[in-house]
Amino acid sequence: MTLEPQSAPAPAPGAPDPIWFASYPSGVPRSIDPDSFPSLPAMLLETCTRNAKRSAFECLGTRMSYDEWERLSRGFAAFLLEEAKCRPGDRVAIMLPNLLAYPVAFFGALRAGLTVVNVNPLYTPRELKEQLTDSGAVVIVIMENFAHKLEAVLAETGIRQVVVARLGDFMPALKRTLFNVVNSYVRRAVPAWRFDAFAMLHEACHRRPSERYADAQPGAATPALLQYTGGTTGVPKGAVLTHRNLVANALQCRAWIEPNLGDEQGRVLTPLPLYHIFSLTANLLAFAMMGGMSVLIPDPRDLKRLIQTMRSAQVTTMTGVNTLFNALINTPAFAALDFSKLSFAIGGGAAVQSAVASRWHEITGSELVEGYGLSEASPVVCINPVRKPKIGTVGLPISSTEVSIRDDAGKPVAIGEAGEVCVRGPQVMQGYWRRPDETKLVLVEGWLHTGDIGALDPHGFLKILDRKKDMVNVSGFKVFPNEVEDVIAQHPGVLEAAVIGVPDQHTGQAVKLFVVRRDPALDAAALVHYARERLAPYKVPKAIEFVESLPKSNIGKIIRKELR
C-alpha cells in the first residue's frame, strides 16, 4: 500500500501570517523540510554515522551506542530478508516493552523495507489475534514473557516467523545470563510457551549478513508504521504513517526542543512505552536526530525503580502523562532528587492538570510543558514554549503545521470560539489501513478532523476543551469534563478525578464525578461547595462517587468509557 504524500499548500501571495508565528520562541523555525531525508532509515543511518560513539540508549544499567544500534539493526534486517524471506511492504509486529530490543527491532524492520506494527504487550490473546489479522503481519518480535499469548492464537493468524526477545538481550554476556535467569526462574515472569519453529532476537541480530545484503530503499510515501488507535470514532484501526510523516514529525519535534537543550547532549527519560506513538516520535526519533540518549524504563508503574533511575541518569528532560507526573509529585522520594540537570518535562496523551503542573514546578524548579497530538498526526501537532508555557493550553502549532477551528458545517469559527480542531501538515497520516470509508470521514480536503473540541486564543495558543464524544450536555449547555476535572484536582484532598455525563430526566445529562481521595476525611458536600465557588451551576457535579482507583490505559490515560 503506497499512498501519495500530503502537504499543506503554500499560502496564497499576500496572505497574512498565522497568528501563532508571533508567539514562536526564539530559534524555532516556521517550517521544516520533510523531504530532507528520503526515508526514516536514511535519517537514522545518518545520525548513527554522525554520533557513532555516543550512547543512544540506556536500559537496566546497560548502554547501547549509535554504532552498536546500527550494526545490530543491520543484522536483524538481513535476518528478515535472508532467513525470514520477507518482501518489501510486509508487516512486522513488535510486541515489546521499553527494552534495548525495541529500537533494534524497529530500525532493523525499516532497513529491510518492511512496515512496523506496534502491539501493546498487555493485549489479551483475543486482542492480539485481531490486530495481527487486521494488519496482515507475517513476522512478530515478542518478549518471552508474553509468548504464551501468541501461542494461544498463532494458528489463527498469518504469522510465519516468530522472533523471541529476552530481558537481557544486548547486555554483556554475564549480565545477560543473570537477567534472563532471574526473569524466568526467580521472578517466574515467563509462563510456559512452545512454538514449532522460532528464532531468538539476540542471535538473529548477531548473524553475519550475506555479501548480497543491501538496505532497502523505501519511498517517502511508503508506509513505515501502522499505529493502531481508537481514532476519532473509537473503533481500533491502523493509522498509516509513512516515512515522510515520521521524518517530518521527528524534525518538527527537534526544531522545537533542541534550542532549549544548550550544548549538552540531551538525556531523555522514556517511561512511556515506545509502542505508543508519542514516546516513539518525541523520544526515540527526535532525540536520535539530536544525538541524544533515551533512558528506557521497562515498567513506569514501579515508581521506586523509576526514581532510582532518575537519580543515577541525571536526565535533562522527560515525557509522560498527567497521571505519571501526579504520581511522582505525590511520592516523597521524588522531591529529594537533584533536579539541577532537568530543563523541562513534556506532558501529552491526556490533559495536564494545572494543579499538577504547578506542583511540579514547585518541586523541580522546571516547567511541565503540555503538548497535543494524536496517532493520526505522527503524533505531535502543538507544543508549548518550553521556557514560558501558557498553562491551560497545549501550546502553539509546531513548524509547518496549520490548525483551524471549525463548526459542525466545516466552516472556520472566530478566534476564541470553540469548534472541532482540524490539522494540516506533513505529519498527517495518509489514511486508515484498508478502511477507505473511515478515512473519508476524517481526511477532508487535506485537513484532518480530529474529533477534539478546542479554541485558539488571540496569540495562537490552542486550548483543548474535550473530545466531542466526552462532552456533557446539561440542558443545552456544554460541559467539558477536562475543565471540571482540572478544577476538582486543585482541591488539596483530591488525588485524582474523572468526570462523565450520566442520564438525567430533568436536564438530559448531568455531571458525575469520580474521585480518588488524598484526604480520607474528604466528603461529597465539601467537594460540591468547592465546585460551586469555581464553576457555573450547570457544571457542578450532581453525583460524586469515591473510588480506590480510576481505570487507566497502558500509558496511564484515564479511560472514561469504563466509568460509564
In the chain, how many domains are there? Answer: 2
Q: CB of 470 within 8 A of CB of 297?
A: no
pLDDT recorded at residue 508: 81
Range of the domain at 518: 471-563
**Residues 6 or more apart from 12 whose CB is under 8 A from it?**
none
In a domain, 408, yes or no: no
Query: What b-and-e string marks burial along 368-404, b requiring 16 or more CB atoms within 10 Å of the CB?
Result: bbbbbbbbbbbbbbbbbbbeebbebbbbbbbbbbbbb
Rounded Cα distance, 285 and 350, in Å: 21
In a domain, 148, yes or no: yes
Residue 10 has pLDDT above 70, yes or no: no
Q: How far is CA 340 from the centre of its chain?
A: 26
Q: Which three cell numbers stand for residue 194?
A: 512452545
Per-residue pLDDT of 147-175, as tens digits, reads 999 999 999 999 999 999 999 999 999 99
Rounded Cα distance, 472 and 545, in Å: 17
pTM of the predicted protein model:
0.87
Q: Is 466 helix (H, G, I), strand (E, B) or coil?
A: strand
First to last CA, the chain: 38
CA angle 137, 142, 146 (to 5 degrees): 120
If you average pLDDT over residues 180-189, what whole number do you get? 95
If you average pLDDT over residues 282-308, what whole number do you get? 96
Percent of the chain residues topping a pLDDT of 70: 95
CATH number at residue 478: 3.30.300.30
Rounded Cα distance, 248 and 29, in Å: 13
> If you ran DSSP here, which 8-state letter would residue 285 be given?
I
Rounded Cα distance, 262 and 283, in Å: 17
Q: Which three cell numbers stand for residue 473?
A: 450536555
Residue 263 has pLDDT above 70, yes or no: no
Rounded Cα distance, 455 and 451, in Å: 13
Q: Is 72 helix (H, G, I), strand (E, B) or coil?
A: helix
> If you ran DSSP here, which 8-state letter would residue 375 be given?
G
The neighbouring-strand residues paired with 422 are: 404, 449
Per-residue pLDDT of 368-420, as tens digits, reads 999 999 999 999 999 999 989 999 999 999 999 999 999 989 999 999 999 99
Residue with cell 484501526: 237
pLDDT recorded at residue 179: 97
Residue 5 has pLDDT above 70, yes or no: no
More confident residue, 14 or 210: 210
Q: CB of 496 within 8 A of CB of 488?
A: no
Rounded Cα distance, 298 and 302, in Å: 9
- Nearest Cα to 297, choosing from 285, 287, 307, 286? 307
H or E segment and range at residue 525: helix 524-532
Phi, psi of 302 (to 5 degrees): -85, 85
> If you ran DSSP here, which 8-state letter would residue 515 be given?
E
More confident residue, 133 or 537: 133
CATH number at residue 117: 3.40.50.980
Q: How far is CA 539 from the centre of its chain?
A: 31
What dihedral do alpha carbons 412, 414, 419, 425 form, nearest 10°?
50
**Residues 6 or more apart from 446 whose CB is under 8 A from it?**
6, 8, 9, 424
Rounded Cα distance, 399 and 383, in Å: 10
Averaged pLDDT of the chain: 93
The neighbouring-strand residues paired with 397 are: 382
pLDDT recorded at residue 7: 47
Q: Hey, what amino acid is at 240?
A: V
* Cβ neighbours of 502 (radius 10 Å): 13
The neighbouring-strand residues paired with 64 are: 57
Per-residue pLDDT of 245-260, as tens digits, reads 999 999 999 999 988 8
Q: CB of 516 within 8 A of CB of 547?
A: yes
Classify 349 in phi/psi space as left (phi over 0), alpha (psi -120 to 50) or beta: left
* Cβ neighbours of 528 (radius 10 Å): 15
In a domain, 538, yes or no: yes
pLDDT recorded at residue 6: 46
More confident residue, 140 or 1: 140
More confident residue, 480 or 28: 28
In a domain, 357, yes or no: no
Query: What b-and-e string marks burial along 171-189, b requiring 16 or more CB atoms within 10 Å of the CB?
Result: beeeebeebbeebeeeeee
Rounded Cα distance, 252 and 33, in Å: 9
In a domain, 342, yes or no: no
Question: What's the Cα-to-Cα distance from 341 to each of 54, 238, 259, 492, rounded to whole Å?
Answer: 19, 38, 16, 29
Rounded Cα distance, 281 and 249, in Å: 7
Q: How far is CA 222 from the centre of its chain?
A: 21
DSSP 341-370: T--EEEE-SSPPPHHHHHHHHHHHSSEEEE
In a domain, 69, yes or no: yes
More confident residue, 61 or 9: 61
Please state which of the ranges 142-151, 325-334, 478-487 shows the lowest mean pLDDT. 478-487
CA angle 91, 94, 100 (to 5 degrees): 135
Phi, psi of 268 (to 5 degrees): -105, 130
Please state which of the ranges 45-49, 365-369, 558-562 shows the lowest mean pLDDT. 558-562
Residue at which a domain ends, from 182, 197, 219: 219
In a domain, 361, yes or no: no
Q: Which three cell numbers stand for residue 437?
A: 470509508
- pLDDT band at 266, cuts 50/70/90? confident
Residue at which a domain ends, from 186, 219, 252: 219
pLDDT recorded at residue 467: 77
**Residues 6 or more apart from 2 whose CB is under 8 A from it?**
219, 221, 222, 223
β-pairing, 494-504 vs 477-479, is: unpaired
DSSP 150-219: HHHHGGGS---EEEEE-TTTTS-HHHHHHHHHIIIIIS--------SS-EEHHHHHHSPPPTT-------
Q: Which three cell numbers stand for residue 103?
A: 529500537
In a domain, 360, yes or no: no
